[in-house]
Each structure stands twice: as C-alpha cells, then as structure tokens.
Structure 1
C-alpha cells in the first residue's frame, strides 16, 4: 500500500494524463487501470473504478457531435443505444462474476489486445473505409463490442470505429459521433451496474473523475499544438509498458 499522499499524487496524475490522452487520441485506460492496481485496489474493482473515472469524457465528446447525430434517424439512434446499453450491462455482469484470480490472469492479454488494436487504428480506418458494406452485421457486432466495453474498456473506441466503417458509414464525423454515443451509453450502464454491485472504490474514483475532467479540458487545448503521431506513439509505448509489467507480475 502506498502512503496516502503518494496515492493521491499517483491517481491524480494518472487520471489527469488519461483525460489528456482521451481528448487527443484515446488510450486513457492504459493509465488509470494500472495506477489503481499499483495503489492496491483489487483488479476487478480497479477496472470498475477506472470506467467511472474516464466516463465524464464520453458525455462531452457526444455533445460535441450533436449536429452529426441529429442527421441520423432517431429510431436508429434509439435502437443502437438500447443495444449498447444491453451489451454494457452484460459485460459488466460478466466482470462481476469473473473470479478475481482469473481476471488477474486475463489482464495482460486484454492490455496487449487493446494496445495492438490502438496501434492498428489508423490502418483499420484506411482499410475498412474503402467501401466495404456489412450493414447487416452492424447491430450484432455492436452488441459484441458493447459486451467487451462493459467488461474491459481498453481499445473500445477503435473497435467501435472499425465496426461502423465496416457497416457502411463513409463519413468519419458520423463514425465518431456514433462511437461516442455508444461509448457513453454502455459506459453509463456498466458503471451503474458496478455501483449497484458495490464494485467502485469511491475515494479513489471521485478523485480520479475530477482529475480526468481537468485533463480532458487541458487535452483539448494541447491537441491544437502536439502532432497526433507523437501522442499516439506515447499511448502505444504506455500500453506496451503496462502490458509487460502485468505479464511480469
């Protein structure tokens, strides 16, 4: 266990950094989850608390794409929101019934998967945006991705963008809008499930929510100055480093 002052400093810095990364390129969970585990929070509780910490950013991102969402049929938005909500609940439920020892063994593999997915993100966007149309698989695919997002948040945004590009969305602004809406809904429902189950470390979680929100505000300003490629490189290096650390553990 860390001394109280060191824990506050570590968690605040990790959450602030996560807010910055999510505002610029994504990958904030690579900081919040390992920081909570290092601070002594059990892995399942750390995963739930990490989801709570980064959740405010999804609301801001969704509001930023209101115009794009307004262009889409409300019936579609409602249907896909319900699917995302159901998947988030299922994923959260699976996490809550997973034995802690088993989840600890899965963590490095989940981190590795999320890191590789993040690294391949630009390639996926270019490749999948080339006119392939698998629209009939959009809703089953959304359910599967939402279950993953409710269980483990890392790499969620890239999976959602790949899904929407594959299913025929050609405009990147709409892809981002749908990605943010689905992330918001499934995150909200999974966090509510974690709260109901008593899986949130509230002292750490509330501190990190504030720090992540401040980081998101700062990240929006930093995004105008830093090359996106440099930030992506930092996220990938962080993800690989955390993966190696958890494999070593």
Structure 2
C-alpha cells in the first residue's frame, strides 16, 4: 500500500471514528474481562494498516490498561507458590521478547492467514476458559514443579508477545497449575506479567519501526476513557453476559477474516 493511500485513509473521518470506537470498546472489554484485540486488530486492518503493524499498534495502544490494572492490584502482588518473582518476570520477559521477535519477522501475508485462527483460538479460550480453570483448580495441592511452571509461563509469554488475545485466560490457567488459589493474587500476577511482557514486546515493535504512532495517538485518548468506563460498567453487568458477548464478537470477527 502506498504512502499516499495510507495518508488518505488516515484523513478519512469515518476510518478515524471507527478506530477510535474500536479503541474505546476494546479498552472497556479489557477492563471488564479481556478481548480488546478482537476489536482493535480488525479495525486497524480495515484502516489500511498492514496486519503485522496493526497487531503491534493495537497492542501498543492498549498497553496503558495493563499498567493501570497492575497498579490497581499492587497490594495483592506477590510471588507465586513455586516460582520466585525474579525468575517469573525474567522468564516472561524473555518469552514476550521472543514472541515479539517472531511477530516482526512474520510476513504480512503469513500473519494475515493466521489472524482468523488466532482470533478463533482466543475466542475458544474465553468460551471454555472458566471450565478449564475449574477443572484445574479442583486439586490445588497438585501444583506443577518449578521447572514445568517456568516452561509453561515461557510458552504463554511467547504467545503473548506474538498475539495478546486471550493472554489473561492462559496466564490464569498457568497460575492455577502452579498452585495459586487466591483470586486477587492471581489477578495481580496476571496483570503484572501481562504488563511486563507487553511493555518489553512494545519496545521491540517500536525499535523495529512496526508501530504506527499516529494511530496510537488516535487510539490512546479513547483507550483511557474506555478503560475507565469499562471498569465502572463491568460492576453492573453479569460476568457470564460479558463473557459470552466477547465470545460472540470473537466468532463474528473470526468469520469475517476467514472470508
């Protein structure tokens, strides 16, 4: 796509409004339950951004939400049962960095072909994640050994650095396998891991010139407002209603990209 075409699309009021709305509702979804990338990635691709850059740009714009969530849970943050905090964060940093490196070396054609499958996988995580967590949590005393826990967190972090969709569900599942049972501590760790690996991944995206900063500037105000509104509204909407709404959005977006 030519630079002129990109500038033309950037000046298109409808496209600007669409991306801003996607950022608003994406941040609101992330604050409530997750799944914001289901909206931001398709909107940015529609705006004419190449798929890899769209993924990197959307992740960058949504990063402040992870940082804010980590700060909000700071009092509950502590090391998990079988892994020290330093080893945990280093593992997630390395995994997130490798995932980001894989993304920026993936061709746009290949990533565009992967998008519907990634969206579908993340949708399945939202649909079946609670059942998975309940089954894992039935035997909290049977937690994974330290090495297995670190390997699992590394794999999940690679996924998170490559594609953020459904990352929270995967992290909660891994923390449950480690032996965590306290919900607030699990959420605090999930948010901290997400923030750390995403921050590092965004640094790699930016260094590679993959992030479209003009679009980040368009999205950021909407993200900040949407994150606040989502956190407030989520208190009034039943969690199951929210979860299945996200699943429906994911299925629709997956179907559109399969076409």
TM normalised by structure 1 equals: 0.95
Give the RMSD, CA atoms, in angstroms.
1.5
* Structure 1: 4+ residue segments shifted above 2 A: 70-73
Matches within 5 A, 1:1-249: 2=9, 4-70=12-78, 76-131=84-139, 132-136=142-146, 137-248=148-259
Cα distance in 1 between the residues matched to 2:73 and 2:182: 13
Q: Choose 77-86 or 182-191, whichever is displaced more.
A: 77-86
Structure 2 stretches lacking a partner, 5+ long: none
Q: Distance in 1 between matches of 2:202 and 2:92?
A: 13
CA contact (8 A) 2:78 2:189 kept: no
1:124 positional shift: 1.6
Whether the 8 Å CA contact 1:135–1:166 is kept in 2: the answer is no
The answer to whether the 8 Å contact 2:26/2:37 transfers is yes
For residue 72 of structure 1, report the CA deviation from its aligned partner: 6.1
Q: For 1:120, what is the secondary structure of its paired residue? A: helix
Deviation at 1:172, TM superposition (A): 1.6
Q: Offset of 1:78 from its aligned partner?
A: 2.0
Deviation for aligned residue 1:30: 0.3
Task: Measure the CA separation in 2 of the matches of 1:208 and 1:34.
Answer: 14
| Matched pairs, number | 247
In 1, distance between residues paired with 2:80 and 2:52?
Answer: 37
Return the alpha-carbon distance in structure 1 between the equivalents of residues 47 and 80 of structure 2. 44
Report the alpha carbon displacement of residue 135 of structure 1 after superposing the two structures with TM.
3.2
Q: Relative to 1, partners in 2 of residues 1:222 and 1:59: Cα closer, same or farther, differing over 3 Å?
A: same
Where do 5+ consecutive residues of structure 1 fail to align? none
Conserved in 1, the CA contact under 8 Å of 2:156 and 2:167?
A: yes
Contact 1:91 1:149 in 2 (8 A): yes
